[in-house]
């Protein structure tokens, strides 16, 4: 292994600019003649718009335009779309209500975009927005997931009676019911997967610019997938055809899913720039707007049942989930509670019968879409809470119950689409138990109890499906796009390399990891490699970064392009060294002719490819540049075991995490330092969900109660411990590098481990997330009251 | 409009600002020092931390006019003569950053913690001192390590 090749703990190439304040985020970009947009947003959860009077605002100082939904309609600008079709059980398509980029006739959540003011300065735009007079007729609203379908709930979209977007199911209902009839034990849980606000630290920004001379648009935006943004904004929303629209996503300050989606503000800034004659229009979200308008995550209400035989062998799993998709269907929202959720309900276990029903509902809340893990944390939470609870009810050690049910032979076809290709769940469980010193837990528990506190331990044996995904497979499930990835490798005449990738890095460290792959393959230093991404004018096409796919899919595309580079360079080297191609070997950056002392460095061959003096250009084309598209043949299946230990103060309900062990199997690891960082961050977000974060709307008014960092509790440094990480390895067979993906694992595993530990500590069946001191204290008190009554 | 003068990263600067102009706006918009970031609007996240007269402050919570005559150091002014500050170096060595957005504030806060609490910092001290800085990427694990190592080398 070289210092910069696969497996090296190489410090990140991109860090220099970030640690010196030279990162270039969208808000750092300012264009000549730039104006500022401020959005007028709905103060009501649900209302009819009777009239919008913009006259006063239009006359305010510095104002260039005040635009409303009528202007959008007049210019033929289309609405935002949801790109994944889901069909209900009866075969009818999902009920997608219109999502105009500025409201037309009705507002459906607090923060809904009603009008935009464009002015010379932000202060002028804000001041003029105060003069926009919107007359509303308030309507009854519903924000609670479990109440959206109830009789008497107001209808949010005309197309969706009962606010039901779809009622979808997967699995064999009859067989599953039969399994339950045969069960010796049934464990039941009612679970709420709490609503979260993603909150990447960089708020969203859009800077749209229209070039009147070229009739061409440029959008600088905080996107995880600029090409998908361009595709949707051109093909569906109709701002401009793709060749007339460039989308640039420069340094992006975190995404966690929330920057996958195409948002109204991006479309409006582009369109408004043309409307005002080509001056650029910039919108920078403040944190309050981010809370109101960024797509939120999770928000499921679930009833789940697990059927077991007398020995703890799982016979069946039955799940009924209601998923809140908010007031409008965001870009990939429909897929999250269906194909990214219910297909993972088999967990790490051999479960013959699974049946899951999912109702997706509209509510008067911000749209809900993918957030780190997207469906898989919800699935893991259901499975791992059920298994742990079953173990306690049946008085079987929770590790032992898991062991009795693990999938041990691969490939393993689950009853819910997924075919697990490789894994060793016993190995990660065993390693984690050793690191957590599980056998001495009772000693630690006694020590904790001696000081008046309670101690608990919780497992979470998660599995996820990443590397999403084979295009034909997701197409058959309703996806509107293919999910391949592209790469282009350009070798310069001096032997340095540029890699253009459709993946997008917003914290994942692609500039380093991808360069390590090239370094490994071509035998050149990673410093000789530049990774180019995030600009539709530079990279021809790409699907972007989400779903832990950039390694398994994005790097495989690079690897394929490198195969072609190697083949071409071998040809050139053979001509130059006057040898037969089959006698030329490439190793450690050097081409050599077998059985001779003839050799050429990679850089020399690159130069020869460009000067083209030593070969017939009819036989070998000059130059050294190759591209590849990679479409994966299967999902990848990272899995692992997290064990969490907590101390709970029964007097205050305060939970302290005493220890966190994570053992993950991500297949091949390119840069362990970066992978560990991904796990740390993922766990922190999972701990945030389980312990501190919860998005709350007032059920009566529909107002967002948790609208700032003062009210929404982001995990801080002193809420978290340091983490103890380990790795096991089974290579992924579906890509040449053996990669599985690591970006979401922590967020998927953590909530179940933590809630399993807290419920173990305080001796209750369930405690709601976030398990705040108040929630834990309440659970302790009601349990004590129940026991006293018994 | 008031005229403000200050020494920023060793250079004398001045400019006319509105009375409501925040220090962070003056730095980003007037001086084009975009390394200092704005991550919230309630003085919670700490992405905007800079040093004013030797103390770490949140530049989103100070008026530019109130910093008239002050000596200001931002993330751009931390390296000296082309050499990174030990805290910057430590963040890179210990992978204390991912997306980089909170990083300038974290590094400036880290330097301040070391100045106030000394070179030998415990994990608990760092975690408690970082109360005013939010990171969404790293889970703080490597930030804590970086500040510990950076402080030791200061």
Can you spell out the DSSP letters for B7-37?
EETTEEEEEE--TT-BHHHIIIIIS--TTS-
Find chain B residues with C-beta within 8 A of A20's C-beta.
35, 75-76, 78-79, 84, 88
Residues 6+ apart with CB under 8 A from A6: A516, A517, A520, A668, A670, A737
Torsion A65-A66-A68-A71 (CA) sign: negative
Round to the nearest angstrom and report the end-to-end CA distance of chain B: 41
Q: For A313-424, where are the E strands, in sequence order? A: 314-324, 353-361, 412-413, 419-420
B12 interfaces chain A, CB cutoff of 8 Å: no
Which among B76, B78, B130 has CB closest to A717?
B130
- Cis peptide leading into A98, omega within 30 of 0? no
CA angle, A374 then A380 then A383, to 5°: 145
Residues 6+ apart with CB under 8 A from A466: A547, A548, A549, A552, A635, A636, A637, A638, A740, A741, A743, A744
Query: How large is the ipTM?
Result: 0.99
Asked if A677's CB is within 8 angstroms of B142's CB, the reply is yes
Asked if A200's CB is within 8 angstroms of B99's CB, the reply is yes
Dmax over CA atoms of chain A, in Å, equals 94
CB A662, CB A766: distance < 8 Å: no
**Across-strand partners of A361?**
A164, A324
Asked if A254's CB is within 8 angstroms of B137's CB, the reply is yes
Alpha helix (H) residue ranges in A374-459? 376-394, 398-405, 425-435, 441-450
Find chain B residues with C-beta within 8 A of A252's C-beta.
99
Average per-residue pLDDT in chain A? 97
B86-152: CATH topology: DNA polymerase; domain 1 (1.10.150)
A224, two tokens = 């995880």
CA distance B18 to chain A (A): 11
Gap between the Cα atoms of A88 and A92, Å rounded: 5
pLDDT given at position A489: 98
% of chain A exceeding 70 in pLDDT: 100
pLDDT given at position A469: 78
H, E, C per residue of A192-247: EEEEECCCCCCCCEEEEEEECCCCEEEEEECCCCHHHHHHHHHHHCCCCCHHHEEE
Find chain B residues with C-beta within 8 A of A508's C-beta.
98
Q: A685 pLDDT exceeds 70?
A: yes
Domain with CATH 3.30.365.10 in chain A: 297-469+634-789, 484-630
Find chain A residues with C-beta within 8 A of B105's C-beta.
none
CA nearest to B75 within chain A: A21
A720, two tokens = 């978290």
Name the residue with tokens 């401020």. A38
CA distance A43 to chain B (A): 19
Mean pLDDT for A291-303 is 98
Name the residue with tokens 């479409």. A631
Asked if A25's CB is within 8 angstroms of B37's CB, the reply is yes
Q: What is the pLDDT of residues A334-371, one digit of tens each?
A: 999 999 999 999 999 999 999 999 999 999 999 999 99
Gap between the Cα atoms of A769 and A744, Å rounded: 19
Domain with CATH 3.90.1170.50 in chain A: 31-139+202-253+259-293
Short-list B96, B97, B74, B85, CA closest to B147: B96
Which among A251, A256, A677 has CB closest to B138?
A677
Which among B34, B42, B78 has CB closest to A709?
B42
A297-469+634-789: CATH topology: Aldehyde Oxidoreductase; domain 4 (3.30.365)
Helix (H/G/I), strand (E/B), else coil: A540 = coil
Q: Which H or E run includes A186? A: strand A185-196
CB A560, CB A551: distance < 8 Å: no
CA nearest to A708 within chain B: B42
Asked if A509's CB is within 8 angstroms of B100's CB, the reply is no
Distances (CA, A) of A391 to A24, A311, A314, A326, B6: 51, 11, 11, 36, 66
Find chain A residues with C-beta within 8 A of B28's C-beta.
28
Short-list A780, A559, A523, CA closest to A668: A559
CB A611, CB A709: distance < 8 Å: no
Helix (H/G/I), strand (E/B), else coil: A13 = coil
Q: What is the pLDDT of residues A137-182, one digit of tens each?
A: 999 999 999 999 999 999 999 999 999 999 999 999 999 999 999 9
Q: A128 pLDDT exceeds 90?
A: yes
Find chain B residues with C-beta within 8 A of A202's C-beta.
37, 39, 99, 101
Q: A1 pLDDT exceeds 60?
A: no
Q: What is the pTM of this model?
A: 0.97
A9, two tokens = 């703990």
Asked if B41's CB is within 8 angstroms of A286's CB, the reply is yes
Kindly write down the DSSP assignment for every residue of A249-280, as one continuous string: --B----TTTTTS--HHHHHHHHHHHHTTS--
Residues 6+ apart with CB under 8 A from A715: A684, A685, A687, A688, A691, A692, A693
CATH 3.10.20.30 fits B3-76, yes or no: yes
Alpha helix (H) residue ranges in B1-154? 23-25, 86-93, 103-117, 123-129, 141-152
B134 interfaces chain A, CB cutoff of 8 Å: yes
Question: What is the DSSP secondary structure assignment for residue B84, as one 8-state letter?
Answer: P
pLDDT given at position A467: 86
Gap between the Cα atoms of A424 and A737, Å rounded: 18
Helix (H/G/I), strand (E/B), else coil: B129 = helix
Asked if A287's CB is within 8 angstroms of B39's CB, the reply is yes
Question: What is the DSSP secondary structure assignment for residue A688, as one 8-state letter?
Answer: I
Asked if A714's CB is within 8 angstroms of B99's CB, the reply is no
Beta-carbon count within 10 A of A713 CB: 16
Phi and psi at residue A692, to the nearest 5°: -125, -30
Asked if B136's CB is within 8 angstroms of A681's CB, the reply is yes
Asked if A509's CB is within 8 angstroms of B98's CB, the reply is yes
Exposure b/e, A286-305, CB count within 10 A at least 16 = b = ebbbbbbbbbbbbbbbbebb
Which among A25, A508, A709 has CB closest to B134?
A709
Asked if B143's CB is within 8 angstroms of A28's CB, the reply is no
- Cis peptide leading into A770, omega within 30 of 0? yes
B9, two tokens = 């990263």
Short-list A34, A129, A71, CA closest to A267: A71
Short-list A289, A318, A316, CA closest to A302: A318
Mean pLDDT for B107-131 is 98
CA angle, B51 then B52 then B55, to 5°: 65
Distances (CA, A) of A421 to A204, A243, A405, A410, A424: 38, 40, 17, 6, 11
B87: confidence class by pLDDT, cuts 50, 70, 90? very high
Gap between the Cα atoms of A116 and A549, Å rounded: 36
B127 interfaces chain A, CB cutoff of 8 Å: yes
CA distance B74 to chain A (A): 8
A31-139+202-253+259-293: CATH topology: Aldehyde Oxidoreductase; domain 3 (3.90.1170)
Asked if B47's CB is within 8 angstroms of A18's CB, the reply is no
Gap between the Cα atoms of A753 and A608, Å rounded: 58
What Rg value do the Cα atoms of chain A yield, rounded?
28
Q: A208 pLDDT exceeds 70?
A: yes
Q: A238 pLDDT exceeds 60?
A: yes
Assigned architecture for domain A484-630? 2-Layer Sandwich (3.30)
pLDDT given at position A4: 87
Q: What is the pLDDT of residues A505-549, one digit of tens each?
A: 999 999 999 999 999 999 999 999 999 999 999 999 999 999 889
Gap between the Cα atoms of A419 and A357, Å rounded: 20
pLDDT given at position A3: 85
CA nearest to A252 within chain B: B99
pLDDT given at position B130: 98
Asked if A708's CB is within 8 angstroms of B40's CB, the reply is yes
Asked if A709's CB is within 8 angstroms of B45's CB, the reply is yes
Q: A127 pLDDT exceeds 70?
A: yes
- What are the structural domain ranges in chain B? 3-76, 86-152
């Amino acid at each position: 292994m070289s210092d910069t090749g696969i497996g090296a703990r190489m410090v990140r190439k991109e860090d220099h600019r970030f640690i010196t304040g030279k990162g270039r985020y969208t808000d750092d970009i300012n264009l000549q003649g730039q104006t500022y947009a401020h959005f007028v947003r709905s103060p009501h959860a649900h209302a009819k718009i009777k009239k919008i009077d913009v006259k006063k605002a239009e006359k305010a100082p510095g104002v260039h335009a005040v635009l409303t939904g009528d202007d959008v309609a007049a210019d033929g600008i289309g609405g935002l779309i949801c790109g994944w079709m889901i069909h209900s059980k009866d075969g009818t398509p999902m009920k997608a209500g219109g999502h105009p980029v500025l409201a037309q006739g009705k507002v459906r959540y607090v923060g809904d975009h009603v009008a935009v003011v464009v002015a010379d300065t932000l202060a002028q735009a804000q001041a003029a927005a105060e003069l926009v007079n919107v007359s509303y007729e308030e309507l009854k609203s519903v924000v609670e997931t479990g109440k959206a379908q109830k009789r008497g709930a107001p209808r949010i979209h005309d197309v969706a009676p009962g606010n039901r977007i779809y009622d979808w199911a997967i699995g064999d209902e009859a067989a599953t019911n039969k399994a339950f009839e045969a069960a010796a034990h049934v464990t039941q849980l009612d679970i709420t997967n709490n609503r979260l606000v993603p909150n990447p630290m960089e708020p969203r920004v859009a800077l749209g610019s229209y070039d009147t001379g070229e009739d061409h648009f440029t959008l600088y935006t905080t996107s995880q997938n600029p090409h998908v943004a361009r595709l949707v904004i051109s093909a569906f929303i109709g701002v401009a055809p793709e060749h007339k629209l460039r989308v640039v996503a420069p340094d992006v300050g975190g995404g966690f899913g929330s920057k996958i989606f195409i948002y109204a503000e991006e479309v409006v800034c582009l369109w408004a720039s043309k409307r005002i004659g080509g001056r650029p229009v910039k919108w920078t979200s403040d944190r309050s707007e981010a809370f109101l308008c960024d797509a939120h995550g999770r928000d499921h209400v679930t009833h789940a049942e697990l059927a077991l035989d007398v020995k703890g062998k799982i016979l069946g799993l039955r799940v009924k989930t209601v998923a809140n998709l908010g007031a409008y269907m965001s870009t990939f929202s429909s897929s999250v509670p269906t194909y990214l959720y219910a297909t993972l309900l088999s967990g790490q276990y051999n479960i013959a019968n699974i049946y899951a029903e999912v109702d997706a509902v509209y509510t008067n809340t911000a749209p809900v879409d993918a957030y780190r893990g997207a469906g898989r944390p919800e699935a893991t939470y259901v499975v791992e809470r059920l298994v742990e609870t079953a173990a306690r009810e049946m008085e079987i050690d929770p590790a032992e119950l898991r062991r009795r049910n693990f999938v041990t032979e691969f490939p393993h076809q689950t009853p819910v689409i997924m075919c697990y290709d490789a894994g060793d769940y016993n190995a990660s469980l065993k390693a984690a138990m050793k690191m957590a010193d599980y056998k001495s837990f009772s000693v630690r528990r006694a020590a904790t109890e001696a000081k008046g506190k309670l101690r608990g331990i919780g497992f979470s044996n998660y599995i996820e499906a990443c590397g999403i995904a084979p295009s034909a497979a997701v197409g058959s499930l309703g996806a509107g796009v293919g999910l391949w990835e592209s790469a282009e490798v350009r070798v310069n005449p001096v032997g340095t390399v540029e890699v253009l990738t459709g993946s997008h890095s917003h914290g994942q460290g692609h500039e380093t990891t991808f360069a390590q792959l090239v370094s490994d393959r071509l035998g050149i230093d990673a410093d000789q490699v530049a990774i180019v991404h995030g600009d539709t004018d530079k990279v021809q096409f790409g699907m972007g970064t989400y779903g832990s796919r950039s390694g398994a899919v994005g790097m495989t595309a690079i690897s394929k392009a490198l195969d072609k580079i190697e083949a071409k360079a071998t040809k050139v080297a053979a001509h130059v060294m006057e040898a037969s191609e089959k006698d030329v070997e490439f190793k450690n950056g050097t081409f050599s002719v077998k059985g001779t002392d003839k050799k050429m460095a990679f850089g020399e061959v690159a130069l020869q490819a460009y000067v083209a003096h030593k070969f017939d250009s009819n036989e070998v084309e000059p130059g050294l540049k190759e591209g590849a598209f990679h479409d994966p043949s299967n999902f990848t299946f990272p899995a692992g075991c997290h064990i969490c230990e907590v101390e709970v103060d029964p007097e205050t309900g305060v939970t302290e995490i005493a220890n966190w062990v994570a053992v993950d199997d991500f297949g091949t690891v390119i840069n362990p330092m970066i992978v560990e960082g991904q796990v740390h961050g993922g766990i922190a977000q999972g701990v945030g969900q389980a312990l501190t974060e919860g998005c709350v709307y007032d059920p009566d008014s529909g107002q967002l109660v948790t609208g700032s960092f003062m009210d929404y509790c982001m995990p801080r440094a002193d809420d978290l411990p340091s983490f103890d990480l380990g790795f096991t390895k089974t290579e992924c067979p579906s890509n040449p590098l053996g990669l599985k993906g690591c970006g979401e694992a922590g967020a998927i595993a953590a909530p179940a481990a933590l809630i399993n530990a807290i419920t173990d500590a305080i001796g209750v069946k369930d405690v709601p997330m976030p398990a705040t001191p108040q929630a834990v204290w309440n659970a302790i008190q009601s349990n004590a009251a129940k026991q006293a009554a018994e | 409009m008031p005229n403000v003068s200050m020494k920023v990263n060793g250079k004398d600067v001045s400019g006319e600002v509105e009375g409501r102009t925040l220090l962070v706006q003056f730095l980003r918009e007037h001086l084009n020092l975009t390394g200092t970031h704005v991550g919230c609007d309630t003085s919670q996240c700490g992405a905007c931390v800079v040093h004013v007269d030797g103390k770490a402050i949140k530049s989103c919570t100070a008026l530019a006019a109130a910093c008239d005559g002050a000596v200001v150091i931002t993330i751009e002014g931390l390296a000296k003569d082309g050499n990174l500050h030990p805290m910057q170096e430590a963040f890179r060595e210990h992978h204390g950053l991912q997306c980089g957005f909170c990083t300038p504030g974290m590094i400036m806060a880290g330097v301040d913690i070391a100045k106030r609490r000394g070179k030998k910092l415990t994990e608990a001290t760092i975690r408690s001192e970082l109360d005013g800085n939010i990171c969404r990427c790293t889970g703080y694990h490597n930030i804590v390590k970086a500040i510990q190592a950076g402080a030791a080398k200061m």
